Structure 1
Amino acid sequence: MKMLPRLLALSLAVALPGPAFAAQTFALVVGVDQYPNDVSLDGAVRDAEDVYRSMSAAGFTVTKFTNAEARKDDIRKAWTDMVAQAAAGDTIIFTYAGHGAQMPELIAGDEADGLDEFLQLPGFDRNRYEETSKEIIVDNEMNAWFGEAEGKGVHVLFVSDSCFSGGMSRSVTGKTRLAPAVTVKLAPPSQEAIAGANLKDIDFKQVTVLAASLESQPTPEVIIDGEPRGALSWSFARAVEGSADRDGNGIITRIELEDYIFSNVKNRSEALQVPNFMPQVARSESEVVVTLTRGIPVNNGTTTETADNDNGTTTPVVEKTIKSAKDLGWTGNIALQIDGAGDKPKNADGTGTPFRWDVASGVFYTPNGDVAAENVDAERIQSVVDKYVLLDFLKALASQNPGSVSLTPVKDIYAAGTRLRFDAPPGRYPNMLVFNLANTGEVQFLDMQAAGTSSSQFKLTDVEIVKPFGADHLITIWTAEPVDAIGAVLADRAVTSQTLLQALLTRLDGKEASVAIQPLYTRETL
């Protein structure tokens, strides 16, 4: 994905001097599903409403525009008002969920690829550009907006759950947030679109941009909790609720936000997306991007100690409340559509966009339209359903404490014969479990490292992709809880997803554990 390219060279916001709970956070939230002159979306307004709720609960001053309310003049005025109200050290967060698009550069020689990017509002009609050009926000204009905040010492975080380029190799049925490009040379929509071009070489020190995908990837709408959503918006909303605040001190650093967003976007998009931070590297470990204005406690946690800050002050540290999977929305069921004559398995009475089982072909599809498993017959269907019930449970745990693992090379999908490597580093907890949930529904035990034993990085090297094809999920769990009993369950060659789920519910649900999920989609040929 290509997102506001001239911001690629910007420096990240400097760290706030200490927690500074007196600083205020303003937020501007825009979400558009309904595009009268283009393909409409399904989940952008849900994204905006979710982010709005989380930021309001965090104590931010929030202004929201959705669908027809999202008019450029009104958005511009809201931004101007926020900059006027904000003081040095305050933060403005601007989140956008909707279509992005490209157009020939407005200023000759301004862009390396000859293209400007823009956010497309519902009033824009590319067939009537002169009359509707004011209903796009060009990257040049956003530079000018950000420059206004920069001039007052106000921090800016721009979160764009949209798309400007890229394609995917997996057959996903959801919509992408990419509108058709404008192909003819057009006049700048405003003076700001010209003036903003002159800011491309300015070293912004207080602006961070978080885009949904890399340039080479699309931004698809994916199914989360049964509904079309943007994985970045969903993850950002959970981050602001406090899940990204790993140490519970009421601030989210760039490092904390990165760790949280990268892991959960991977989990919720099934590895279709890799978010893109700009600049790509944090300036310091303590660099703050979000201050939870409501202060602490976070998630009704209990203050247990204080942390010393560099400026000589102390900040209460909160022991977070770990929610159960059910409190996080897990139901123990998935929704399943059966095409053909077949009995419905247990735990398949969930609601929302369903998985789909084509009985005649034996193909089992995810709600996103991916092939999850092949050769699924009446004997295997229950184990496949049980796998996804367990996977949803693990995703719920990961949403409040995600871990990080890697698969090399990185691809949307892997063809037969491809060789790859999987790495799971030691975590911050003493115990680790590694296992695979195969596309057949089988549970494959890979490793256990318990406290008191030699802890090391777990590696699978030179793994070759072979039949059966579909979607595997490599799982790593780190915890301070005892894992011997879970390990004993995993070591049983006859272990099922249902048995493992019961062990995890008993031992880890509502307990502190970090979970990493690495989707692995395969097929015979690409």
Structure 2
Amino acid sequence: MLTNLLLSLSLLIGGQKPASTGQTYAVVIGISDYQALTYATGDLRFADRDAQQVVAFLRSQVGGNVPVSHIRLLTNRQATQATIQQALKLFRQAGADDRVILYFSGHGMPDSFVPYDARPGDQGRLLTYEAIKAAFHESKAITKLCIADACLSGGMTQQQANRRSSAQTIASTIHDGSNVAMLLASRSTQNAVEDGRLAGGAFTYFLLKGLTGRGDLDGNGIVTIRELHKYIGPQVRKRTRGRQTPVFYGRFSDNLPLSYL
């Protein structure tokens, strides 16, 4: 599952689980109800529920029984810019054999995610990709995973300009030997679809389906990042009638295991 992320690229992909899988530290964010919005003006329906499902997965036996103390769940009014940035400090607790996960479901912009307390025209209240990159860089974890179910999230793969410098992508600016993967719901020009019949974001729905077995395309009991992408991509495109194409990006092996079944 998410908590069995690769510790070493030298592990043989043959169905045998590693003897030690390290610890997982996760910051999980879901914002449906925004301070400055109503449902009529842009509030979402399922982002907080999706975040809760991700936490339930991590806490389950198949998800690795991640301790509550290793998870920061922020939903709706809890997910201000300040509380998110404080939560990201959790990643500093990770050691070299550990992995860190950031999951965000909510509104996205080309260069940032939108916290609960964001205000129109106030760039200072956004959660920039630069801030996420910094949090990842400060962690010693060998594996760093960013999952985003947000509109325009594919913008994380592009160079962004900020007021101080040219901020490169998360993966290209971390040169500490870590495995960095970004699992993004949509391209930089696309919206991320919420599906009433699925009662959640289409991307998160198929993400969890893939990690819990559907993504094991060769039947060997391991879901690699390549297999997960091959599973999620067609499923999301079909479900959204071509309006949404997930993007997997970073610095990692195609055989990076994401779950052991």
TM-score, normalised relative to structure 2: 0.75
1:223 counterpart = 2:196: yes
Match of 2:184 among 202, 207, 211: 211
Q: Tell me, in whole angstroms, the C-alpha distance in 2 between the residues paired with 1:53 and 1:277.
A: 23
Residues 114 and 126 in structure 2, CA contact (< 8 A), matched pair in contact too: yes
1:141 lines up with 2:131 in the alignment:
yes
Distance 1:16 1:252 in 2: 17
- Is the contact made by 1:140 and 1:195 (CA closer than 8 Å) also made in structure 2? no
**What is the letter of the counterpart of residue 229 of structure 2?**
E
Q: Note if contact 1:14-1:283 (Cα within 8 Å) is conserved in structure 2.
A: no
Cα pair distance change 1:50/1:98, threshold 3 Å: same
Distance of aligned partners of 1:165 and 1:32 in 2 relative to their CA distance in 1, 3 Å threshold: closer
Aligned to 1:370: none
Q: Give the aligned partner of residue 30 of structure 2.
A: 31
In structure 2, the partner of 1:160 is 148
Whether the 8 Å contact between 1:224 and 1:268 is mirrored in structure 2 is no
The answer on whether the counterparts of 1:25 and 1:291 sit within 8 Å (CA) in structure 2 is no
Of residues 275, 279, 287, the one that matches 2:256 is: 287
- Bigger-Rg structure (1/2): 1
* 1:17 corresponds to 2:26: no
1:159 maps to a residue whose letter is I
**Percent identity of paired positions between Structure 1 and Structure 2:** 26
Structure 2 residue runs of 5 or longer lacking an equivalent are 1-5, 155-160
Change over 3 Å in CA distance of 1:211–1:66 after alignment to 2: same
CA shift in 2, pair 1:214/1:198, >3 Å: closer
1:105-184 aligned within 5 A: 117-127=111-121, 129=122, 133=124, 135-149=125-139, 152-164=140-152
Q: 1-side partners of 2:248 and 2:95: how far apart?
A: 25
- The alpha-carbon distance between structure 1 residues 71 and 82, as it changes in their structure 2 partners (threshold 3 A), is same
SS of equivalent residue, structure 1 residue 270 = coil
Aligned to 1:68: 77
1:68-110 per-residue CA deviation (whole Å, 9 max, x = no partner) reads 01123332333222331x22232212111101124xxxxxxxx
User: 1:418-457 maps to which residues of 2 (within 5 A)?
Assistant: none
Residues 26 and 102 of structure 2 are in contact (CA less than 8 Å); yes or no, is this contact kept in structure 1?
A: yes
Q: Distance in 1 between matches of 2:106 and 2:77?
A: 12
In the alignment, the residues of structure 2 paired with residue 264 and residue 138 of structure 1 have an alpha-carbon distance, to the nearest angstrom, of 29
Let me know the Cα RMSD of the aligned residues: 3.3
Matched with 2:158 is: none
Letter in 2 for 1:22: S
Distance 1:264 1:27, change over 3 A: farther
Aligned residue in 1 for 2:57: 54
Cα offset, 1:126, TM superposition: 2.4
The aligned residue for residue 240 of structure 1 is 211
For residue 246 of structure 1, report the CA deviation from its aligned partner. 4.6
- Three-state SS of the structure 2 residue aligned to 1:124 is coil
Count of aligned positions: 233
The residue that corresponds to 1:45 in the other structure is 48
SS for the counterpart of 1:79 is helix
C-alpha contact 2:99 2:141 (8 A) present in aligned 1: no
Distance between the aligned counterparts of 2:87 and 2:32, measured in 1? 21
1:32-88 Cα deviation digits (max 9, x unpaired): 01112132111211211222222222123432110001123332333222331x222
Q: What SS class does the counterpart of residue 118 from structure 2 fall into? A: coil
Question: What amino acid is the match of 1:74?
Answer: T
Task: Identify the residue that residue 382 of structure 1 maps to in structure 2.
Answer: none
Per the TM alignment, residue 160 of structure 1 is displaced from its structure 2 partner at its CA by 0.8
Q: Does 1:88 align with 2:57?
A: no
Quick one: distance in 2 between partners of 1:249 and 1:63? Answer: 32
* TM-score, normalization by structure 1: 0.40
| Deviation of the 1:165 alpha carbon | 8.2
Seen in structure 2, the aligned counterparts of structure 1 residues 119 and 21 have a Cα distance that, compared at 3 Å, is farther
Aligned pair partner of 2:107 in 99, 108, 115: 99
How far apart, in 2, do the equivalents of 1:87 and 1:287 lie?
A: 19
Deviation of 1:201 after TM superposition, in Å, equals 4.7
Conserved? CA contact 1:211–1:276, under 8 Å: yes
Structure 2 matches for 1:345-424, cutoff 5 A?
Answer: none
Matches within 5 A, 1:322-341: none
Distance of aligned partners of 1:282 and 1:90 in 2 relative to their CA distance in 1, 3 Å threshold: closer
Counterpart contact for 1:30–1:97, Cα < 8 Å: yes
Aligned partners of 1:244, 1:25: CA distance in 2, in Å?
Answer: 21
Residue in 2 aligned with 1:261? 232
Deviation of 1:244 (Å)? 2.4
Report the secondary structure of 2:97's partner residue: coil
| Deviation of 1:250 (Å) | 6.1
* Higher RCO structure (Cα 8 Å, ≥6 apart): 2
Q: Which amino acid aligns with 1:235?
A: F
Amino acid corresponding to residue 252 of structure 1 in structure 2 = V
